[in-house]
């Protein structure tokens, strides 16, 4: 009998251990049922272990920031949803979720300043203009920005902060010299600082690049830098440091990058025009609209889907990003 008792005791211990092991496996594997592109899901603690995961946000909701200008290039801020037509992947959206004038959404801003030897001529003035821009744009306890200096390599001078003093000090610590890796700087700023898989608090994400656009040392290509900006839904504004008065190869690069992300490129010839360029960017960031919609025939296949927003009123122009990458389920 004592052997039989030991047998049942060992069997009971085996069943208990196996049950704990199985429960551990179930708890470990549960997150894999969630969509990769959706925000993290939560389990109701009052539900049994096999309850269904709750997806907080639809993966097919697209948010697009855009601006509208009149024939003189002035921002038009009093338009409504009925004043625009939108195509997603060449089709009208399945439904519009919301439309509003977005003048007060928090800003997440990256300032990328080219410190290579080719920008030496106006470097000090550009630093002062950049500091003034940050002081006027970044609101304490609301917006945040970071500063990167780049030549052949990128250097984070100041990570995200809402402190104008810290941002200003970072800009003034920059020293010129070296080659230019523009594409790497854009790619890494978007990938490391601005891309968001699960966004609970909407914000305007933008990069301001101050450079001559003459890349000669990047590991990433122009196309890769643009794609990463599009994936991060970042608008890029470019201020050229070229003061030759000619349209050079680097200027065309800056224009392409800005156009592809819904931003704008500036080509200041005189010193004072640099400050005017920063002021125009600041104004634009406060003059945007946002439209959210569900695309027609949407598939979470990771494919690039073009966007086209047009104004229905005469003499109005719209500028927005040209498309986005669908999440991959």
Reported as a single tens digit per residue, the pLDDT across 138-158 is 999 999 999 999 999 999 999
56-73 pLDDT tens trace: 445 789 999 999 999 999
Q: What's the whole-model pTM score?
A: 0.79
Which residue in the block uniquely carries the two structure tokens 């200008």?
69
Strands 288-294, 95-102: pairing is antiparallel
DSSP-derived secondary structure for 172-225: HT----S---HHHHHHHHIIIII--SS-SS--EEEEEEEE-----S-SS-HHHH
Closest CA to 137 of 158, 113, 168: 168
Which of the residues in the chain have pLDDT under 70?
1-58, 121, 197-202
Which residue in the block uniquely carries the two structure tokens 């949803």?
81
Could you give the angle at which helices 164-172 and 123-137 cross, rounded to 10 degrees? Answer: 170
94-115 pLDDT tens trace: 999 999 988 778 999 999 999 9
pLDDT recorded at residue 194: 94
pLDDT recorded at residue 2: 44
d(CA 42, CA 75): 43
pLDDT recorded at residue 104: 75
- Residue 326: other Cβ atoms inside 10 A: 20
List the beta bridge partners of residue 265: 238
| Helix intervals (H) in the chain | 2-29, 123-137, 164-172, 182-189, 222-231, 249-261, 271-285
pLDDT recorded at residue 21: 42
pLDDT recorded at residue 19: 46
pLDDT recorded at residue 178: 83
pLDDT recorded at residue 66: 95
pLDDT recorded at residue 43: 34
- How many Cα atoms sit within 13 Å of 105 on the Cβ side? 19
Do residues 281 and 75 lie in contact, with contact meaning Cβ atoms separated by under 8 Å?
no
């Amino acid at each position: 009998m004592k052997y039989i008792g030991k047998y049942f005791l060992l069997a009971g211990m085996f069943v208990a251990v196996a049950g704990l092991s199985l429960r551990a496996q179930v708890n470990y594997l549960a997150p894999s049922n969630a969509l990769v592109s959706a925000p993290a899901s939560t389990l109701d603690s009052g539900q049994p272990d096999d309850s269904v995961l709750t997806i907080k946000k639809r993966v097919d909701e697209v948010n697009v920031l855009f601006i509208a200008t009149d024939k003189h290039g002035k921002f038009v801020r009093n338009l409504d949803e009925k004043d625009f037509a939108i195509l997603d992947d060449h089709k009208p959206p399945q439904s519009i979720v919301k439309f509003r004038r977005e003048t007060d959404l928090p800003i997440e801003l990256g300032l990328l300043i080219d410190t290579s030897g080719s920008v030496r001529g106006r470097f000090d003035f550009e630093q002062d203009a950049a500091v003034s821009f940050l002081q006027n744009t970044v609101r304490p306890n609301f917006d945040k920005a970071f500063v990167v200096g780049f030549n052949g390599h990128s250097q984070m001078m100041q990570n995200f902060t809402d402190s104008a003093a810290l941002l200003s000090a970072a800009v003034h610590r920059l020293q010129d010299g070296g080659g230019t890796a523009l594409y790497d700087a854009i790619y890494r700023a978007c990938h490391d600082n601005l891309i968001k898989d699960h966004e609970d608090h909407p914000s305007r994400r933008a990069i301001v690049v101050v450079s001559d656009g003459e890349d000669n040392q990047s590991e990433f290509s122009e196309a890769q830098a643009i794609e990463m900006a599009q994936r991060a839904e970042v608008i890029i504004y470019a201020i050229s440091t070229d003061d030759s008065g000619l349209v050079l190869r680097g200027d065309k690069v800056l224009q392409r990058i800005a156009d592809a992300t819904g931003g704008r490129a500036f080509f200041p010839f005189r010193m004072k025009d640099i400050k005017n360029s920063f002021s125009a960017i600041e104004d634009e960031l406060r003059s945007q609209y946002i439209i959210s919609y569900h695309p027609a025939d949407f598939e979470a296949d990771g494919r690039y889907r073009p966007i086209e927003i047009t104004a229905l009123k005469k003499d109005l122009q719209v500028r927005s990003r040209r498309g986005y990458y669908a999440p991959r389920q």
